[in-house]
Structure 1
Amino acid sequence: MDIRELLAGKLSEEELRKVKRAFDIIGDIAIVEIDESLREKRKIIAEAIMKVHKNVRVVCSKAGPVTGEERIRPLEIIGGENRTETIHTENGCRFKLDISKVFYTPRLANERMRIARQVREDEVVVDLFAGVGPYSILVARLAKPKLVYAIDKNEFAYHYLLENIKLNKVEGRVRAFLGDCREVVEEQRIMGADRVIMNLPKQADHFLDVAFKIVKNGGMVHFYYFLREEELFEGAFKIIQREAGRFGRRIEFLEARKCGELAPGVFRVVVDFEVNP
Structure 2
Amino acid sequence: MKWKRIGDILILNKKINDIEYFKKKGIKTIVKIEKIKGKVRKPEIKILYGSETETIHKENNCLFKLDISKVMWSKGNTYERMRIAKLVNKDETVVDMFAGIGYFSIPIAVHSQPKKVFAIEINPTAFKYLKENIKLNKVEKKVFPILGDCGKIAPELDADRVIMGYLPDPSKYLDSAMQCISDRGIIHYHEAVPDKLGFKRPINRIKSAAKDKDVKILHKRVVKKYAPGVSHVVIDALIH
TM-score by length of 1: 0.83
1:25 correspondence with 2:35: no
Identity rate of aligned residues, in percent? 38
**Structure 1 residue 23 displacement after superposition:** 1.6
Partner of 1:174: 143
**Structure 1 residue 50 displacement after superposition:** 2.6
Q: What is the distance in 1 between the residues matched to 2:181 and 2:112? A: 19
Q: Aligned to 2:20, which of 47, 68, 75? A: 47
Partner of 2:80: 111
| Secondary structure, counterpart of 1:206 in structure 2 | helix
- State the number of aligned residues: 240
Amino acid at match of 2:136: L
**Structure 1 residue 47 displacement after superposition:** 3.0
List runs of 5+ in structure 2 lacking aligned partners: none
Partner of 2:42: 72
**Structure 1 residue 236 displacement after superposition:** 1.0
Partner of 2:224: 260
**Structure 1 residue 45 displacement after superposition:** 4.5
Amino acid at match of 2:48: I
CA contact (8 A) 1:70 1:103 kept: no
Deviations 1:212-236 (A, max 9, x none): 0011323100000001111111111
List runs of 5+ in structure 1 lacking aligned partners: 1-20, 36-41
Partner of 1:120: 89
Q: What is the distance in 1 between the residues matched to 2:123 and 2:105? A: 16
**Structure 1 residue 207 displacement after superposition:** 0.3
Q: What is the distance in 1 between the residues matched to 2:9 and 2:61? A: 19
Deviations 1:46-90 (A, max 9, x none): 334334xx03221101222x22111122101101x2011100001
Structural RMSD (CA)? 1.5
**Structure 1 residue 203 displacement after superposition:** 2.6
Structure-to-structure mapping, 1:1-277, within 5 angstroms? 22-34=2-14, 45-51=18-24, 54-64=25-35, 66-79=36-49, 81-185=50-154, 189-191=156-158, 193-245=159-211, 248-276=212-240
Q: What is the distance in 2 between the residues matched to 1:263 and 1:216? A: 36
Bigger relative CO (Cα 8 Å, ≥ 6 apart) = 2
Query: Which stretch of the first structure deviates more once superposed, 234-243 or 264-273?
Result: 234-243
| Secondary structure, counterpart of 1:70 in structure 2 | coil
CA contact (8 A) 1:34 1:62 kept: no
| Secondary structure, counterpart of 2:183 in structure 1 | strand
Q: What is the distance in 2 between the residues matched to 1:129 and 1:206? A: 13
Q: What is the distance in 1 between the residues matched to 2:37 and 2:183? A: 35
CA contact (8 A) 1:216 1:275 kept: no
Q: What is the distance in 1 between the residues matched to 2:160 and 2:182? A: 6
TM-score by length of 2: 0.95
**Structure 1 residue 109 displacement after superposition:** 1.2
Task: Choose 1 or 2 for highest CA Rg.
Answer: 1
More strand by share: 2
Amino acid at match of 2:236: D
| Secondary structure, counterpart of 1:126 in structure 2 | strand
| Secondary structure, counterpart of 2:184 in structure 1 | strand
CA contact (8 A) 2:161 2:187 kept: yes
Deviations 1:176-210 (A, max 9, x none): 01111122235xx312x110000012131010011
